[in-house]
């Protein structure tokens, strides 16, 4: 770093600390004129200056000029958007993080600050589909709580990584003293809605009952859905009838389950019961019902459904 570059660097730090926008812009112009902006330290300092002054458009423009970005470059912009604290800026943070990982730059402690916490970063990784990165963040977290465990489990479950879902779930039950809560149970069970996983699903269902969670609506729904999607309709119906508080998801799980198993008449009968219970069907319910109607053709139930759809949907 030359003497001139060091001088610019020191002045940028001072203007950043003072949030002196006019002087900082003037200094930026001098840097461009002298060609000192080719230095990565100066580039990063200019990005940081504009970001901390809440001039993110300028910060982003300078950031884009950096040919070889390092973690400091990314952190300056990520933290700048994070400090705005708006939904739009949060979306920008997530996009930047995803782009950063696409370019094979891994976050450090300063990146965590841009996400407010490691838990937020973990959540962002999972939502972006970066489950490998999420696991790296999860593994280096100094402390884990029920939220971080549930987030990691949900991230794997969301992307159908059943094996890893079960691995993290077992880690939680073996290594930690965290209670198994409804968020963990619903996340885990959602990963095992295939016939080959029915035995694992049953074990976790038993654990949910043991922990008094079956009465929670979301847990009851995911248990019914599990059995229905696995083709175990008798178990699904038993859990459905035991559900103390049914909503459209509970009803839809049974209707779609019967439809997928080829029993259109039972699906339509369930839909009829749902209608007379006063429960309004969702779009998912109607998809299941329409498929069931195509199976049963011109039966009484099929004709009744046709009449219902003409009045309420079509």
Task: Tell me: pLDDT of 208 over 80.
Answer: yes
pLDDT (tens digit, 9 = 90+) per residue, 216-273?
Answer: 999 999 999 999 999 999 999 999 999 888 999 999 999 999 988 888 888 888 988 9
pLDDT of residue 96: 86
How far is Cα 244 from Cα 213, in angstroms, rounded to an integer? 12
Where residue 12 falls among pLDDT bands split at 50, 70, 90?
confident
pLDDT average, residue stretch 75-98: 79
pLDDT of residue 178: 61
pLDDT of residue 24: 81
pLDDT of residue 1: 58
Task: Tell me: pLDDT of 298 over 50.
Answer: no
Lowest mean pLDDT among 139-143, 285-289, 293-297: 293-297
pLDDT (tens digit, 9 = 90+) per residue, 148-190?
Answer: 888 899 899 888 888 899 899 888 888 766 668 888 889 889 8
pLDDT (tens digit, 9 = 90+) per residue, 88-138?
Answer: 777 787 788 888 888 888 877 677 666 656 677 788 788 888 888 888 888
Where residue 309 falls among pLDDT bands split at 50, 70, 90?
low
Q: Exposure of 209 by Cβ count < 10 A (0-12 exposed, 13-18 middle, 19+ buried)?
A: middle
pLDDT (tens digit, 9 = 90+) per residue, 19-45?
Answer: 888 888 888 888 888 776 678 888 888
Which long-range contacts does 105-109 make (Cβ < 8 Å, 24+ apart)?
105/69, 105/70, 105/71, 105/74, 106/71, 106/133, 106/136, 107/71, 107/137, 108/71, 108/75
Task: Tell me: pLDDT of 296 over 60.
Answer: no
pLDDT average, residue stretch 203-209: 91
Question: Greater confidence, 68 or 140?
Answer: 68
Where residue 303 falls among pLDDT bands split at 50, 70, 90?
low
pLDDT of residue 314: 45
Average pLDDT, the chain: 82
pLDDT of residue 101: 84
């Amino acid at each position: 770093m030359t003497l001139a570059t060091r001088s610019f660097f020191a002045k940028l730090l001072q203007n950043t600390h003072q949030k002196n926008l006019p002087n900082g812009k003037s200094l930026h112009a001098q840097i461009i004129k002298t060609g000192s902006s080719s230095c990565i330290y100066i580039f990063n300092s200019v990005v940081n200056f504009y970001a901390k002054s809440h001039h993110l458009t300028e910060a982003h423009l300078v950031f884009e000029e950096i040919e070889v970005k390092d973690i400091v470059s990314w952190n300056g912009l990520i933290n700048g958007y994070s400090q705005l604290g708006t939904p739009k800026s949060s979306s920008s943070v997530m996009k930047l993080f995803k782009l950063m990982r696409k370019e094979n730059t891994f976050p450090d402690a300063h990146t965590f600050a841009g996400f407010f916490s490691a838990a937020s970063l973990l959540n962002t990784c999972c939502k972006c589909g970066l489950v490998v990165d999420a696991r790296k963040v999860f593994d280096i977290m100094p402390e884990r709580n029920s939220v971080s465990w549930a987030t990691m489990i949900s991230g794997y479950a969301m992307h159908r990584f059943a094996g890893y879902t079960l691995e993290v779930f077992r880690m939680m039950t073996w290594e930690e003293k965290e209670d198994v809560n409804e968020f963990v149970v619903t996340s885990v069970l959602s990963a095992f809605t295939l016939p080959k996983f029915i035995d694992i699903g049953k074990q976790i269902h038993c654990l949910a009952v043991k922990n008094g969670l079956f009465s929670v609506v979301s847990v009851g729904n995911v248990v019914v859905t599990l059995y229905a999607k696995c083709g175990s309709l008798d178990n699904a119906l038993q859990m459905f009838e035991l559900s103390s508080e049914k909503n459209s998801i509970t009803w839809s799980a049974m209707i779609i389950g019967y439809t997928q198993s080829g029993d259109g008449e039972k699906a339509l009968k369930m839909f009829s019961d749902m209608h007379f219970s006063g429960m309004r069907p969702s779009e998912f319910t109607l998809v299941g019902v329409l498929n069931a109607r195509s199976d049963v053709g011109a039966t009484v139930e099929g004709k009744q459904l046709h009449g219902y759809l003409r009045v309420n949907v079509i």
